[in-house]
Amino acid sequence: MSTTAASQLATEGGPKTVTLPVPAWPVVEEADAQMVADVIRSGVWSWVGPREREFCEAYAKFIGTKFCLGLSNGTVTIQCALQAVGVVPGDEVIVPALTWVATAQAAMDVGANVVFADIDPVTLALDPASFEASITPRTKAVVPVHLYGCMCDMDAILDIARRHNVKVVEDVAHQHGSQWRGKGAGSLGDAGSFSFQQSKVLTSGEGGAITCSDPDVYQTAFALKQVGWTPENPSVDPFSPLIQGKKYGHNYRITEMQAALLVCGLKRLPEQTRRREVNAQRIAAELAAQGGPLQVAPRDPRITTQAYYALTLTYDAGKAGGVPRARYLAALSAEGCGLGATYGLVYQNSLLNLADSTSPLPFRENLPQDYTTLRLPNAEKAVNETAVNMSQKHLLGSDEYVGQLVAAVGKVNDNLDRLREK
């Protein structure tokens, strides 16, 4: 090991490797501010205004579906999509054990019972074999989550779903613009659910969208979000005239200000996606060349475009001589390379207290799984030991910035013996 000052870990007084600032997010341009200002001055702030219509038409084309509708956030998009494909109280919905809690919460909140399935240990996406093994006569839908920087195996999932007559609602909150065999994530199943929360690669601070191509699914989802109103004939005009849809509707509307930000953001998204892909591939190649304990999850060749909410990585403590993941990541953070672990397991996540009186579970009987004793080994190992992610904003960095990130990993790898001594 080198003993020069430059090679000394920052945790031991050495210089930080990453000296350039983290790229700013969200990206804001003058056009964003101008369009929002124009909306404010117009007095048309909600109820399917011109900016909402403009965005939904553009986003449906971008994803490759006939329809898109804007909603208030990416949780109610899952709720409405599940109901629109036919999920009713008492049905079972299969959800991967590793996702943001809202994926499961949305199903529970519409009266469905959630069955958790295991994940692929490297991609962190729903494991098709575990999905199929979880199907029962009460299974109505599955929610494959395209998590962080990998897509689900949609060939296998769609095949299983068709054979068992299970509806597919894709959770695409992390993958705006990903494509599987040239088809957009969010167009592969019966419906797609998107979030536009501030950290997402397409953002309006909050907000969401549902994509689909079935007019009946669209009309039902529209009525659910638009206090019962729905387009009379969406195949002719997906936004007007609105009629009373004779559904039990909610107010889950997106605003014109949010839609304006999305119109602007969508114009930047293809180039941002390209930049993230280039940097992700560079990081993957250079970490592979280093041969250290931290590696990028391999990209499935069936993915023709990969959007990144985060870059998915795997940490092997065995290759680090037993250095635990938390200590390794702390050393990287001190170098200026801030990486994170994953979400917690949904069925153990303290943010979703399933035993509390505010949860629907204590008031239900005959649940399909006992979450207090549930053990899904791949998900638990990923959460507790191996899974790592890098926020999408790092992937927008300059060549020099990305080089510094990779150098930080190399520096920590060169000092693994020092980490083992702690």
CA–CA dist 165, 150 (Å, integer): 26
Write the pLDDT tens digit of every residue in 120-175.
999 999 999 999 999 999 999 999 999 999 999 999 999 999 999 999 999 999 99
* pTM attached to this predicted model: 0.96
Residue 2: its pLDDT value, please? 42
Quick one: average pLDDT of 87-116?
97
CA angle 398, 399, 405 (to 5 degrees): 90
| pLDDT, averaged across the chain | 96
- Any residues with CB less than 8 A from the CB of 96 and at least 6 apart, and which? 103, 116, 117, 118, 119, 125, 126, 127, 143, 144, 145, 147, 379
At residue 267, what are phi and psi to the nearest 5 degrees?
-65, -30
Contact yes or no for 404/336 (Cβ under 8 A): yes
Q: What is the SS3 assignment for 334?
A: helix
CA–CA dist 12, 10 (Å, integer): 5
pLDDT at 352 over 90: no
Residue 355: its pLDDT value, please? 87
Of the given ranges (2-16, 205-219, 258-272, 391-405), which has the lowest mean pLDDT? 2-16
Residue 380: its pLDDT value, please? 98
Write the pLDDT tens digit of every residue in 46-83.
999 999 999 999 999 999 999 999 999 999 999 999 99
Write the pLDDT tens digit of every residue in 391-414.
999 999 999 999 999 999 999 999
pLDDT at 3 over 60: no
Residue 308: its pLDDT value, please? 98
Residue 93: its pLDDT value, please? 98
Residue 258: its pLDDT value, please? 98
Residue 365: its pLDDT value, please? 87
Write the pLDDT tens digit of every residue in 302-341.
999 999 999 999 999 999 999 999 999 999 999 999 999 9
Residue 421: its pLDDT value, please? 79
Residue 189 pLDDT grade (very low, low, confident, very high; cuts 50, 70, 90):
very high
